[in-house]
Structure 1
Amino acid sequence: MSNLNLVIPERAANIGNFMVGRLLPFRQKRMVGPFAFIDHMGPVTLAKEEQLQVPPHPHIGLSTLTYLFEGVIVHRDSLGNEVEITPGGVNWMSAGKGVVHSERSPERLRGERKSLHGLQIWVALPKELEDMEPTFTHVGKENIPKWDYMGVSYTLIAGEAMGKASEVPVHSKLYLLELKTEDDQYVSIGKHLYGESGLYILEGSIISEGNTYASQQILIAKESRLCEFQLKAGSTVYIFGGEPFAEERHIFWNFVSSDKKRIEKASQDWKGQKFPKVPGETDFVPLPNQNLK
C-alpha cells in the first residue's frame, strides 16, 4: 500500500513585487500538522532600481518563519525589532493577539542587483496561545543544528526531530528539516517523525515506491512513521510537520484563528488602524476583498 496521500504542485501567487510559488494552503489539504502556509519565494534577481518592498501588514494567531537560501531582507516590526535576515538564519515572530511587520531590501543594497530566494512559512498557534503577547526571536545560522548521517546533510531549522532540538522557540510539537546530498542516498527517518508529515522538493528529485517526483512539489504522507525514499544526487528537500490541532483553523489574508469572530475583529481593527505601528514606517496596506476560509 502506498504511503503517499497527496501531491501538491507549486502554484504561482502574486505578493506584490514578484511572483512566489504557493505550496500551502491547498484546497484538498489546508494544513500539515500546525503548518498553515508555505511560500517558495524566488529565486529572483532584482535590478538595481528594484527593491523588495513589503510594507507594514498585520498578523494574528500564528508564528511566521522566514528562512533564506540567498539574499538579505530587513525585518522591522511593531515590537521595535529591526533585523537583517541572511541565508541560514531563522526569523521567528509569534503574532499572538496582533503584530505588524515589514520586509524590505536593505538600504545599503539599493542601487545594486540583488538575489532573493527562500521560504516564508506560517505556523498556527495552539488555541490557548492565539491571544498571547507577540514575541520575536532571531536565531543565527551558527546556532541552527546541523549534522551528517548516512551520506545526507541535515539541518533542523525548527522544532524537534532525530534526537535534536532547534533553538527556535516553537509553541507546539513540530519539525522542519532540511536534507541535502551530493550522491544518491536512501533515507529512512520515519521512526523519528510524528503527527502529520510533508516533504517539499526544492531542487533535484526523489524516488518513492517506484515513482520519481521532481522539484517544486509537496508530497503528503499518509503515515509519517513510514517516511522513506531515495534522495537523488544534488537534491535538497524539506520535511515538515508535527502534531495537528483538534480545532479547525480559519485563514483570511494574514490572519489565522480557530475563531472566525477573532478574525472579523482583527479585520475591523486593521481597517480602523488600531493595530500597533512599525516605528518609522507610515505605509498602510488596505484590507483585501477576499473570502474567509
Structure 2
Amino acid sequence: MSNINLIIPERAANIGNFLVGRLLPFRQKRMLGPFIFIDHMGPVQLSKREHFDVLPHPHIGLSTLTYLFEGSIMHRDSIGNAVEIKPGAVNWMTAGKGVVHSERTPDYLRKTNQELHGLQIWVALPKEKELIEPSFTHINKEELPTWQDKNIHYKLIAGEAFGKQSPVPVHSKLYMLELKCSNAQEVTLGEQLYGEVGLYILQGGIKTENQHFGEKQLLIAKDTKLCSFTMEADSVVYLFGGEAFEEERFIDWNFVSSSKARIEEAIKKWKAQDFPKIEGETEFVPYPDRKL
C-alpha cells in the first residue's frame, strides 16, 4: 500500500513583480500541520534596473518564515525592525493581532545584478495565541542545528525533530528540515517525525515505492511513521509538518484566523490605514478585494 496520500505540484502565482511557485494552500490540502502557505521564490535573475520590492502589507494570526538559498532581502516592520536576511539565515515574524512589513532589495545592492531564490512560508498560530503582540526574530545560519548521518546532511530550520530544537521561537509543535546528499542514500524517518508531514523536492529527486519523483513537487504522507525514501545523488529536499489544529483556519489575502469576523475586521482596518506604520515607508499594498 502506498504511503503517499497526495502529490502537489508547484503552480505559478503572481506576487506583484514576478511569479513564484505556490505549494500551499492547495484545493485538496489547505494546511500541512500548522503550515498554511508555502511559496518557492525563483530562482529569478534581477538586473540592476529590477528590484525585489514587496511594499508594506499587513498580517494577522500567523508567523512568517523566510529562508533564502540565494540573494538578500531587507525586512522592515512596524515593530521597528530593519534586518537584512542572507542565505541560510531565518527571519521569523509573528504577526499576532497585527503587524505590517516590507521586503526589498537592500539599498547597497540596487545597482548590481542579483539572483533571488528561497522559500516564504506562513505558519498559522494556535487559536489561543492569535491575538498576541507582534514580534520578530532573526536567526543566523550558524545557530541552526546541523548534523550528518551516513551521506545525508541535516539542518533543522524550525521546530523540534530528531531530539533537537531550532532556536526559531515557534508557537506550536512543528518541524522544517533540510536534507542534502551528494551520493544516493536511503532515508528512513520512523519515529523521528510526528503529526502530518510533507516532502518538498527542491533539487534532484527521490524514489519511493518503485516510483520516481522529481523537482518542484510536494508529497504528502499518509503515515509519518512509514516515511521512507531514497534520495538520488545531489538532491535537496525539505520536510514540513507537525501537529494539525483542531479548528479550521480561514485565509483571505495576507490574513489568517480561526474567526471570519476577525478577518473582516482586519480588512476594514487595512482599507482605513489604521494598522501601525513602518518608519520611513510611505507606500503600501492596497487590499485586492479578492480571495487568495
Range class of TM-score, shorter chain: over 0.9
Measure how far apart 1:131 and its partner are.
0.4
Match of 2:159 in 1: 159
Aligned letter for 1:142?
A: E
Q: How does 1:103-142 map to 2 (within 5 A)?
A: 103-142=103-142
Match of 1:249 in 2: 249
**Residues 162-200 of structure 1: per-residue CA shift (max 9 Å, x gap):** 011000000000000000000000000131000000000
Measure how far apart 1:290 and its partner are.
1.1
Match of 1:37 in 2: 37
* Structure 2: runs of 5+ lacking an equivalent: none
Query: Secondary structure at the residue paired with 2:112?
Result: coil
In 2: Cα distance, 1:162 partner to 1:285 partner:
40
Query: Secondary structure at the residue paired with 1:248?
Result: coil
Match of 1:202 in 2: 202
Match of 2:60 in 1: 60
Query: Secondary structure at the residue paired with 2:167?
Result: coil
Match of 2:85 in 1: 85
Q: Structure 1: which 4+ aligned runs deviate by more than 6 Å? A: none
Match of 1:212 in 2: 212
Query: Secondary structure at the residue paired with 1:285?
Result: coil
TM-score by length of 1: 0.99
**Residues 46-76 of structure 1: per-residue CA shift (max 9 Å, x gap):** 0111010100000000000000000000000
**Residues 183-229 of structure 1: per-residue CA shift (max 9 Å, x gap):** 00000013100000000000100001110000000000001111100
In 2: Cα distance, 1:142 partner to 1:237 partner:
20
**Residues 12-46 of structure 1: per-residue CA shift (max 9 Å, x gap):** 00111110000000000000000000000000110
Aligned letter for 1:4?
A: I
Query: Secondary structure at the residue paired with 2:142?
Result: helix
Measure how far apart 1:291 and its partner are.
2.9
Match of 2:268 in 1: 268
In 1: Cα distance, 2:272 partner to 2:71 partner:
35
Q: How does 1:146-185 map to 2 (within 5 A)?
A: 146-185=146-185
Tell whether 2:249 aligns with 1:280: no
Match of 1:233 in 2: 233
In 1: Cα distance, 2:49 partner to 2:157 partner:
33
Aligned letter for 1:165?
A: Q
Report the number of matched residues.
292
Match of 2:190 in 1: 190
